[in-house]
Structure 1
Amino acid sequence: MTRVAVFTSIAAFAAGAVGHATFQDLWLTRHYEGTCARLPTSNSPVTDVTSDDIRCNIHSAATSKCSVPAGVNVTIEMHQQPGDRSCTNEAIGGAHYGPVMVYLSSVTDASTADGSAPFFKIYEDTWAPASSTSQGSDDYWGTKDLNTNCGKLDVPIPADLAAGDYLLRAEAIALHTASSVGGAQFYVTCFQISVQGDGSVKPEGVVFPGAYKATDRGIEINIYQHLSEYVAPGPDVVSGGTTAVAGKAV
């Protein structure tokens, strides 16, 4: 994965629990001043899927929108603390295993959108078995790929996407305590972007809250057992989106 310049900058916030994390940056090949990330005010997760916080988390304001050509890769970046972006520490530690997903929401103005418009899924990196007998915690997960890649995953923006403003919603779901209702942890950040291109597609989407139920198979789950499959919450990835293979998203 080639990354030339940082696309948004990190804002300071209070340190939280070990293992917790937040998406902080979006990368592209051109440098932009300011920030298009609605940075969470802490690295603590959202745990209530019925809360409006599931849209874009509890966040500070972003000061700008970032320009993104349709068809290119953006790179989401996650770390436990804003002051440590090294590869020596896990991006999301504490055995926080689970899927990573990215959504887009077409909006009139990304700088003022409240996240209530429908979101469609353009990317997911979820789960793959390590062996025929392995337990889910030993298997490959999207969050493990984040750790392997120093907190970064490449996300292609669909080439046929209609030009305009969007909220890009990056989400990692930690399932290490998800065997009971309310145990899943949602780490979410929204980025304000403007897509350029000559495409015309605006896929249908789902609304948050509402897209997830606390009892969904991919949310209430015991990962400390042998898994034969993992069903990610939310809609399928749209046509032109990307379904990564966990353990190979490098």
Structure 2
Amino acid sequence: MNPRGKYIRPYPKSNGPVRDLNSPLLLCRTEGMAPELTEIMPVVAGSEIVLEWHHNDASDMDNVISPSHRGPCFVYMAPMESNGIGNSWFKIYEQGFNAEKNMWCTDILRENHGKLSVKIPTQINNGEYILRTEIIALHNAKAVGEAQFYPNCAQVRVTGATSGNPELYPIDLIYNATDPGILFDKKNAGSTYIIPGPPVYPPQ
């Protein structure tokens, strides 16, 4: 997905984080949630799509995210008709600290030039969805309210699914400021990190 591309809902040019878990910006980091302003990308259930993060540009030389901004990555989906409001979200991907590689998800993103492959579940219903990506930077997260959230939303149209019934959650209630995965001292070993939020669907 191309940053500021036709499938991504508009987000601030400042590219700054959200810190307030009660902020409406936590949804997609945009105040303009009108779905008709963004095109919809066709995807096939069961296939892998490549998501991209970039700091300045889309070149392989771009640093994607500051090496100090280490933390987990997540991908959520919500039916388009919900526009992301209320109990509408389910998590399809999470990656925190990889003890085998001794790397956070953000480290792996940097190594992969900002690219991350994510599988679209087959156990969902066909239709149009908001696809929400998120990075949580933990470099200042030893203090309450200092974890940095970087969400963005794209729009996809899923075909080839087999139907499903994932448990749905509201974005404004999936995290707590004192969750161990949100309030986290980077001096602690990454292998002790507890991933916040709901479980991945379908169960891994």
Which TM-score applies when normalising by structure 1?
0.74
Query: Offset at 1:216?
Result: 0.6
After TM superposition, the runs of 4+ consecutive aligned structure 1 residues lying more than 3 A away are 8-11, 59-62, 114-117
Show the counterpart of 2:53.
78
RMSD: 2.0
Distance 1:101 1:10 in 2: 17
In structure 1, C-alpha distance between the alignment counterparts of 2:107 and 2:2, rounded to whole Å: 24
Q: What runs of 5+ residues in structure 1 fail to find an aligned partner?
A: 1-7, 12-24, 26-34, 132-138, 242-250
Q: Are positions 1:195 and 2:135 aligned together? A: no
**Which of 188, 209, 219 is matched with 2:172 structurally?**
209
Structure 2 Cα separation of the partners of residues 51 and 155 of structure 1: 27
Superposed CA offset, 1:5-55 (max 9, x none): xxx5443xxxxxxxxxxxxx6xxxxxxxxx110131131011111212111
Matched residue type, 1:204: E
1:129 counterpart (99, 113, 119): 99
Matches of residues 1-250 of structure 1 in structure 2 within 5 Å? 8-11=1-4, 35-41=6-12, 42-58=14-30, 62-81=37-56, 84-108=57-81, 113-129=83-99, 139-239=102-202
* Cα distance in structure 2, aligned partners of 1:65 and 1:228: 38
Give the CA deviation at 1:160: 2.5
Q: Deviations over 1:81-100 (max 9, x none)?
A: 2xx22222321114100000
Greater fraction helix: 2
CA deviation map 1:90-142 (0-9, x unaligned): 21114100000101112327xxx2444421110111112369xxxxxxx4100
Please give the alpha-carbon distance, in whole angstroms, between the structure 2 residues aligned to 1:59 and 1:9: 20
Q: Which amino acid aligns with 2:9?
A: R
Cα distance between partner residues in 1 of 2:43 and 2:173: 28
> Is this contact kept in 1: 2:3–2:54, CA < 8 A?
no
Cα distance in structure 1, aligned partners of 2:103 and 2:17: 22
Cα separation, 2, equivalents of 1:85 and 1:198: 31
Q: Secondary structure at the match of 1:55?
A: helix
Question: Which AA in structure 2 matches 1:65?
Answer: I
1:107–1:165 contact (8 Å) kept in structure 2: yes
Specify every segment of 5 or more residues in structure 2 that has no aligned partner in the other structure, as ranges. Answer: none
Task: Report how many aligned residue pairs link the two structures.
Answer: 200
Change (3 A) 1:225 1:203: same
- Secondary structure of 2:192's partner? coil
Normalised by the length of structure 2, the TM-score is 0.89
Cα distance between partner residues in 2 of 1:108 and 1:38: 15
